[in-house]
């Protein structure tokens, strides 16, 4: 439990000293990281289902999903697990969450790895427009249900490259999405969507920890965002990989290798 919300947390390789905390993306869960964690047996791994996702609780109020409340929940869980000087990895929505956490609690982290992530939006106009789009998506989930939303979601342009994946991988991703709670997904969009969170662009210059940015060659939008982020980070590194948005799904071995190489280089 964290501030009244029940969270699902898994700890792997508990005896290891160095810890990596993984945060999944929208419609994801701890399951998305299993092909990666199998390659990281030298590290203690902490996997967390974010609020409204996987086996974590889905509160009725969208306000409970606000980014500042999510990162406070994370910090309470991290304190309970007695984690210090650890690495945090986040993908997409989980990358935004990891970055927000790092900007708020920088003393906690040894390093940050962001996959297809962003610091939010620069202007209030952009935020308002994105809030309207996310609200429309939330209404689609609430009115049409999870199966219809997943049919729509897996066919957006962001995930075109996933259509080339082997059938068992595509099916695993689909089942992970279908297992979500409609209240949780809708409220996640409303409470901690890109338009609802604070912008962390200005905070990037103050992040002293090593930050590895990962983006896919087929994901032009996030490749550009990450190039802009790199220019502002004092200790950043950007790797462009041959993949789309979900690099860890499309190229799990290469993704795990990149994580290990970064940690070896920096530490």
Q: Residue 150 — pLDDT band, cuts 50, 70, 90? A: very high
Asked whether the beta carbons of 16 and 42 are under 8 A apart, the reply is: yes
User: Alpha helices, DSSP H only, in 145-241?
Assistant: 146-153, 167-178, 182-192, 220-232
Beta bridge pairs of residue 44: 19
pLDDT tens digit sequence for 172-204: 999 999 999 999 999 999 999 999 999 999 999
Which residues, other chains included, contact 241 with Cβ-Cβ below 8 Å and sequence gap of 6+? 214, 215, 216, 217, 247, 251, 254, 255, 258
Q: Quote the mean pLDDT of the chain.
A: 96
Q: What is the pTM of this model?
A: 0.96
| Average pLDDT of the segment spanning 110-137 | 96
- Phi, psi of 211, deg, nearest 5: -125, 120
Query: Is the pLDDT assigned to residue 15 strictly greater than 90?
Result: no
pLDDT for position 173: 97
| Average pLDDT of the segment spanning 29-43 | 95
* E-only strand ranges, 49-156: 86-91, 109-115
pLDDT tens digit sequence for 237-246: 999 999 999 9
Instruction: Classify strands 44-48 and 9-12 as parallel, antiparallel or unpaired.
Output: antiparallel
Place of tokens 């190229």: 251
Query: Is the pLDDT assigned to residue 266 strictly greater than 60?
Result: no
Q: Please, what are the domains in the chain?
A: 9-266 (3.40.50.1820)
Asked whether the beta carbons of 73 and 101 are under 8 A apart, the reply is: no
pLDDT tens digit sequence for 52-94: 999 999 999 999 999 999 999 999 999 999 999 999 999 999 9
How many whole angstroms from its chain centre is CA 60? 22
pLDDT for position 102: 98
Farthest CA pair distance, the chain: 49
């Amino acid at each position: 439990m964290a501030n009244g919300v029940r969270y699902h947390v898994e700890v792997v390789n508990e005896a290891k000293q160095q810890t990596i905390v993984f945060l999944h993306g929208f419609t994801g869960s701890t399951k998305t990281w299993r092909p990666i964690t199998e390659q990281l047996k030298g590290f203690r791994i902490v996997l967390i289902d974010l609020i409204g996702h996987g086996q974590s609780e889905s509160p009725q109020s969208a306000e409970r999903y606000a980014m500042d409340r999510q990162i406070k929940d994370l910090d309470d869980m991290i304190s309970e697990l007695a984690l210090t000087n650890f690495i945090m990895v986040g993908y997409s929505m989980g990358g935004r969450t990891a970055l927000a956490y790092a900007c708020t609690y920088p003393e906690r982290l040894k390093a940050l790895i962001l996959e297809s992530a962003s610091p939010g939006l620069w202007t209030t106009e952009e935020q308002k427009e994105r809030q309207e789009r996310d609200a429309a998506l939330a209404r689609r989930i609430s009115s049409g249900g999870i199966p219809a939303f997943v049919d729509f979601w897996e066919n957006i342009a962001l995930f075109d490259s996933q259509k080339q994946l082997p059938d068992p991988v595509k099916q695993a991703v689909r089942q992970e999405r279908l297992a979500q709670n409609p209240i949780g997904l809708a409220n996640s969009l409303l409470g901690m969507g890109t338009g609802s969170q604070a912008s962390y662009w200005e905070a990037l210059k103050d992040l002293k920890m090593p930050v590895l940015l990962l983006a896919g060659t087929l994901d032009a939008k996030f490749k550009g965002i990450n190039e802009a982020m790199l220019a502002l980070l004092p200790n950043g590194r950007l790797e462009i990989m041959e993949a789309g948005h979900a690099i860890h799904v499309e190229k799990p071995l290469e993704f795990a290798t990149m994580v290990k190489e970064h940690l070896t280089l920096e530490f």
